[in-house]
Amino acid sequence: MTTRTESTTMTATPTILFVCVHNAGRSQMAAGYAQALGGDRVQVLSAGSAPKDPINPIAIQAMAEDGIDIAGNQPKILTTDAVRESDAVITMGCGDACPIFPGKRYEDWELTDPAGKGIDDVRPIRDEIKTRVQALLAELLPTEASA
């Protein structure tokens, strides 16, 4: 995992942007966990450098097994505005597609792409994403216990 912080300016309710190539798997799962675990203490965005419809049905199934519904989400294109609005930008396999702005926290999570994989292969990816989101929320929301 690579972490790069341009500065430490964080808003009262931090905005987290999760980015992967297609915005159909990893970033959607991460956003689902961040929203469920962070509640109204965080704003959550997700996007892709080359979005692909629809969201991976196996990712939807894996998240549903953990009680989180991402079925209604739609892949979105990564925009400069989304990055600008965010306090933390978490990328997953999209390399240099994400613009860099001062004052943002950047992390690159090396995670296997769930595209084309069965449920037994996606569950460990989901679990790794959950662990990383929990750690991220604990860092961003240090005054409250994370779920």
pLDDT digits (tens, 9 = 90+) for 91-111: 998 766 677 778 889 999 999
Kindly state the average pLDDT of the residues 47-76: 96
pLDDT value at 18 more than 70: yes
> Which tokens belong to 73?
């989400």
Q: Is residue 57 part of a domain?
A: yes
Q: Is residue 66 part of a domain?
A: yes
Catalytic residue among 90, 94, 111, 141: 94
pLDDT value at 29 more than 90: yes
pLDDT at 11: 59
Q: Is residue 7 part of a domain?
A: no
Share of the chain above pLDDT 70, in %: 87
Catalytic residue among 19, 20, 59, 68: 20
Residue 98 annotated among the catalytic residues of the structure: yes
Q: Is residue 58 part of a domain?
A: yes
Kindly state the average pLDDT of the residues 24-33: 98
* CATH code of the domain in which 62 resides: 3.40.50.2300
Kindly state the average pLDDT of the residues 7-31: 86
Could you tell me the residue range of the domain that residue 128 belongs to?
Answer: 18-102+115-139
In the beta sheet, which residues pair with residue 33? none
pLDDT at 5: 45
Q: Is residue 49 part of a domain?
A: yes
Average pLDDT, the chain: 89
Catalytic residue among 16, 42, 88, 98: 98
Q: Is residue 11 part of a domain?
A: no
Cβ pair 75, 24 in contact under 8 A: yes
Residue 47 annotated among the catalytic residues of the structure: no
Residue 69 annotated among the catalytic residues of the structure: no
pLDDT at 8: 43
Range from 14-23, 54-63, 99-108, 132-141 carrying the lowest mean pLDDT:
99-108
* CA neighbor of 146 nearest in space, from 42, 67, 38, 66: 38
- Number of domains, the chain: 1
Kindly state the average pLDDT of the residues 62-84: 96
Cβ pair 48, 20 in contact under 8 A: yes
Cβ pair 16, 88 in contact under 8 A: yes
